C-alpha cells in the first residue's frame, strides 16, 4: 500500500495527502506495534512518582505489561510484568510500594532488580533448574529532566539522539518539576488523530470556541509551527498582553460579562505568563503542552485502530506558591475528558474516526504551507507532514 489514494492528476505530493486506511486498518495497527512502538523511546513515568526504593507504577509498551520501579540501589528499572513461571502478572493496579514482587499464583518472588529470589519447594525441579535463568525481562531505561523513557530495541539510538531538537523544549518546561495530578480517559479514535491534533495550529480558533473565539483568534495569530525533525512537532504561542484584548467583543462571544479580574480567576487569560507558551509533540505518542500555566504530559496508548487510552500527568514546580499550585490544578482541566479544550480534541478525533467509514473519500489533506518550510505561521501543516514522514520511515513505506 502506498500513501495517498488520490488520482494520478492530483496536484498534491505524497507528503501532502494521507491514506485514511492508516487510521482504520487492523494489519497496519499490528505493524505499528512492531515497527514503531517496539523501536521508539516510550514515556513510562516520572521520577517524582518513584522517590523511594520499592515505589512502582505500571505501564505498557507496545501492548506488553511492564513495571517501572526504583530498586534498592536507587536505579530506575522497567521490568516485564509477567511471571517467568507460568505468566501471571506480578502486580496490578496503577501504582504502589513493595520490597519485592511476589507472584500471586505459586509465590515465585523477584527482587526490585528483577532477579528470582524465592521459589517454594524448589527441589522438585531437579538439578536442571537454575534461578538465574528465570529473571524478569528488562527494557532499556533513560531519564531526561525527570521524565522516564523506556525502549525495547537494543539497537535504537540513545534517548538524547532520539529527542534531538525536542530536548531543549522538554528542559525548558519540565526541569525541576514534580507530579501533582492525573487525568485519563479512553476515546474511540485512532491514536494518531490526537497526536496530529497537537501539531495542528489551524484548528484552535474554530474547534475551541468554548475557550473564547475572540481571544483565541488574537492568540493564535501570534503563533509559530516548527517541524523539529525526527517526527517531533512544536507549536509556539505568544500570549497577547491583557490590555490588548477587546473585552466587550470577548464578553459578547462568551455570553458573559468579563472583567480582567474574572478572566484571570477563570483562567481565560494567564495571570502567570512566561515569555511564550508551547505545545511539544514527541514522536510517536507523547505530548508536553505547557500553555496557560498548565504543564502536563500526555501519553497515548493505542488499544485498537479505533480505540486509544489517553493518560495525562499534571506537573507543577515544588517552589509554587499554594495559590499558584491551586491555579495549576484548576487550569489542568483545560485538558482531558472534562477539559475546556481537551474535550474538543477528543470529540473531534472520534468524529474523524466515524467519518472514515465513508470509503468514497480515501485521503486526508495536509498541504498547508509550502513543503520545504520548517517553521512559520501556526496555521501551517508542515509539522504534521514531518510527523508522517517519520511514521513512514519507521513503517518502511517509501511512498
| 220 forms part of the interface with Fe ion (CB under 5 A) | no
Distance from C-alpha of 68 to C-alpha of 138, rounded to nearest angstrom: 10
Q: Which is closer to Fe ion, CB of 196 or CB of 345?
A: 345
How many CB atoms are located within 10 Å of the residue 249 CB? 16
In this structure, the chain runs to a length of 399
DSSP, residue by residue, 321-337: -HHHHHHHHHHGGGSST
Dihedral over Cα of 158, 160, 328, 286: its sign: negative
CB of 108 to ligand FES, least distance (A): 4
Distance from C-alpha of 343 to C-alpha of 335, rounded to nearest angstrom: 7
The conformation of residue 35, written as its DSSP 8-state character, comes to: I
CB of 336 to Fe ion, least distance (A): 12
214 binds, among ligand FES, Fe ion, none (CB under 5 to 8 A by kind): none
Q: Rounded to the nearest 5 degrees, what angle is found at the Cα of 388, between the Cα atoms of 1 and 279?
A: 155
Q: Which is closer to Fe ion, CB of 80 or CB of 339?
A: 339
86 binds, among ligand FES, Fe ion, none (CB under 5 to 8 A by kind): ligand FES
345 binds, among ligand FES, Fe ion, none (CB under 5 to 8 A by kind): Fe ion
CB of 101 to ligand FES, least distance (A): 10
Choose one: 52-60, 67-75, 343-351, 362-370; the region binding Fe ion (CB under 5 A): 343-351
257 CB contacts (<8 Å, ≥6 apart)?
A: 251
Q: Which is closer to Fe ion, CB of 40 or CB of 308?
A: 308
Task: Name the closest residue to Fe ion (Cβ).
Answer: 345
Residues 120-139 that bind Fe ion (CB under 5 A): none
Cβ burial of 39 (10 Å; 0-12, 13-18, 19+) is middle
Per-position b or e across 318-348, b if 16+ CB within 10 A of its CB: eebeeeebebbeebbbbbbbebbbbbbbbeb
CB of 88 to ligand FES, least distance (A): 4
Look up cell 506480578; give the residue.
90
Q: Which is closer to ligand FES, CB of 118 or CB of 376?
A: 118
Candidate list 32, 196, 220, 345; residue touching Fe ion; CB under 5 A: 345
How many CB atoms are located within 10 Å of the residue 214 CB? 18
Q: Which is closer to ligand FES, CB of 83 or CB of 384?
A: 83
CB of 120 to ligand FES, least distance (A): 8
CB of 57 to ligand FES, least distance (A): 21
Q: Which is closer to ligand FES, CB of 36 or CB of 91?
A: 91
Distance from C-alpha of 69 to C-alpha of 96, rounded to nearest angstrom: 9
**Sites of contact with ligand FES (CB under 6 A):** 83, 85-88, 103, 105-108
Quick check: 103 and 114 in contact, CB under 8 A? no
CB of 345 to Fe ion, least distance (A): 4
Task: Number of residues interacting with Fe ion: please give it, by CB under 5 A.
Answer: 1
Q: Which of 94, 151, 142, 90 is nearest to 311 (CA)?
A: 94
Phi, psi of 178 (to 5 degrees): -140, 160
Q: Which is closer to ligand FES, CB of 87 or CB of 322?
A: 87
Q: Which is closer to ligand FES, CB of 134 or CB of 238?
A: 134
CB of 109 to ligand FES, least distance (A): 9
Choose one: 54-62, 169-177, 181-189, 338-346; the region binding Fe ion (CB under 5 A): 338-346
Contact residues for Fe ion, defined by CB under 5 A: 345
Amino acid at each position: 500500500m502506498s500513501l495517498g489514494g488520490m488520482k494520478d492528476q492530483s496536484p498534491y505530493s505524497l507528503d501532502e495527502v494521507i491514506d485514511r486506511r492508516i487510521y482504520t486498518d487492523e494489519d497496519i495497527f499490528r505493524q505499528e506495534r512492531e515497527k514503531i512502538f517496539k523501536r521508539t523511546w516510550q514515556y513510562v513515568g516520572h521520577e517524582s512518582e518513584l522517590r523511594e526504593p520499592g515505589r512502582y507504577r505500571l505501564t505498557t509498551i507496545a501492548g506488553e505489561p511492564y513495571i517501572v520501579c526504583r530498586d534498592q540501589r536507587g536505579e530506575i528499572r522497567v521490568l516485564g510484568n509477567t511471571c517467568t513461571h507460568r505468566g501471571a502478572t506480578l502486580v496490578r493496579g496503577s501504582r504502589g510500594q513493595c520490597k519485592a514482587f511476589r507472584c500471586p499464583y505459586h509465590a515465585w518472588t523477584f527482587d526490585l532488580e528483577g532477579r528470582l529470589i524465592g521459589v517454594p519447594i524448589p527441589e522438585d525441579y531437579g538439578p536442571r533448574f537454575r534461578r538465574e535463568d528465570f529473571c524478569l525481562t528488562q527494557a532499556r531505561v533513560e531519564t531526561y529532566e525527570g521524565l522516564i523513557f523506556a525502549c525495547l530495541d537494543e539497537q535504537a539510538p540513545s534517548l538524547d539522539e532520539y529527542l534531538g531538537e525536542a530536548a531543549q523544549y522538554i528542559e525548558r518546561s519540565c526541569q525541576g518539576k514534580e507530579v501533582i495530578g492525573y487525568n485519563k480517559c479512553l476515546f474511540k479514535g485512532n491514536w494518531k488523530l490526537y497526536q496530529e491534533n497537537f501539531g495542528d495550529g489551524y484548528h484552535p480558533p474554530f474547534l475551541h470556541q468554548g475557550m473564547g473565539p475572540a481571544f483565541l483568534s488574537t492568540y493564535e495569530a501570534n503563533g509559530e509551527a516548527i517541524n523539529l525533525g525526527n517526527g517531533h512537532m512544536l507549536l509556539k504561542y505568544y500570549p497577547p498582553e491583557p490590555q490588548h484584548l477587546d473585552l466587550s467583543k470577548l464578553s459578547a462571544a462568551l455570553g458573559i460579562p468579563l472583567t480582567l479580574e474574572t478572566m484571570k480567576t477563570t483562567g481565560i487569560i494567564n495571570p502567570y505568563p512566561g515569555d511564550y507558551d508551547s505545545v511539544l509533540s514527541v514522536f510517536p505518542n507523547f505530548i508536553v503542552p505547557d500553555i496557560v500555566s498548565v504543564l502536563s504530559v500526555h501519553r497515548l496508548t493505542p488499544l485498537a485502530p479505533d480505540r486509544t487510552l489517553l493518560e495525562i500527568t499534571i506537573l507543577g514546580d515544588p517552589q509554587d506558591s499554594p495559590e499558584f499550585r491551586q491555579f495549576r490544578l484548576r487550569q489542568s482541566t483545560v485538558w482531558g475528558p472534562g477539559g475546556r479544550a481537551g474535550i474538543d480534541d477528543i470529540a473531534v478525533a472520534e468524529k474523524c474516526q466515524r467519518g472514515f467509514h465513508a470509503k468514497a473519500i480515501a485521503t486526508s489533506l495536509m498541504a498547508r504551507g509550502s513543503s520545504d518550510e520548517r517553521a512559520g505561521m501556526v496555521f501551517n501543516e508542515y509539522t504534521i507532514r514531518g510527523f508522517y514522514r517519520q511514521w513512514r520511515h519507521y513503517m518502511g513505506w517509501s511512498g
